[in-house]
Amino acid sequence: MNSPVVIAIDGTSASGKSTNSKLIAKALEFIYVDTGAMYRTLAWYCGQKRIDIHSEKEVSALCRKWKTTLDCVNGQVRLLVDDYYPEKEIRTAETSAAVPHVAAVPYVRDWMKKKQRECTRFGNLVMEGRDIGSNVFPETDFKFYLDACIKERSARREAEGVNENLAARDQRDSQRAAAPLMVPLGATVINNSGMTAAETSKLIIAHIVKRLHR
């Protein structure tokens, strides 16, 4: 029995990871996994339980005991907490601000890695994040790293109604001790400045199809 194919889409903030991952998953009929949403879910849950997000000990303790399940709905994997998926809650400004602190905790990175690797039970995956090709699925042959100039990435965020210091976020993520943001070994790097999502996803799909038929 062949192992599921995992397509790793990593990259900087607002580089088009989510949009392109969804387009690729739809085109190839793969399951889409947003690993960022998993970290957001924990960050939101920390708020619900009044956990100090600046305390590695408290965050780790909560991560050890929270009751979660993986679910797949409409081709997308979701992380449920107590059988609930906080779809809207994890997208608030408050949750967004807490995510980098929670995601930097070593125990959390290890926990998430195990949970994310479990997603292969749903089939072939397109998984987006910041450490998929370098840490979660380093063995996959399908690694892509997306980037774009800071001006364009900032414009994309502003178009979404989000005001975020992307340079600071990327620097913080690339310098953390646990699974830092980096270009995975063997990854195809795509700078999509000036490119549409359709153009970017078409380019990635062409790479994938070529490799699948070698």
Task: Quickly name the fold that domain 1-30+125-214 has.
Answer: Rossmann fold (3.40.50)
What pTM does this model have?
A: 0.88
Distances (CA, A) of 1 to 4, 88, 109, 128: 9, 38, 30, 25
Query: Is 35-122 a domain of CATH 3.40.50.300?
Result: yes
List, by residue range, all CATH 3.40.50.300 domains of the chain.
1-30+125-214, 35-122
- Tell me the pLDDT tens digit for each residue of 22-79: 999 999 999 999 999 999 999 999 999 999 999 999 999 999 999 999 999 999 999 9
For 150, the token pair is 């800071």
**Residues 186 and 143 sit within 8 Å (Cβ to Cβ):** yes
**Residues 10 and 145 sit within 8 Å (Cβ to Cβ):** yes
pLDDT, residue 173, reads 65
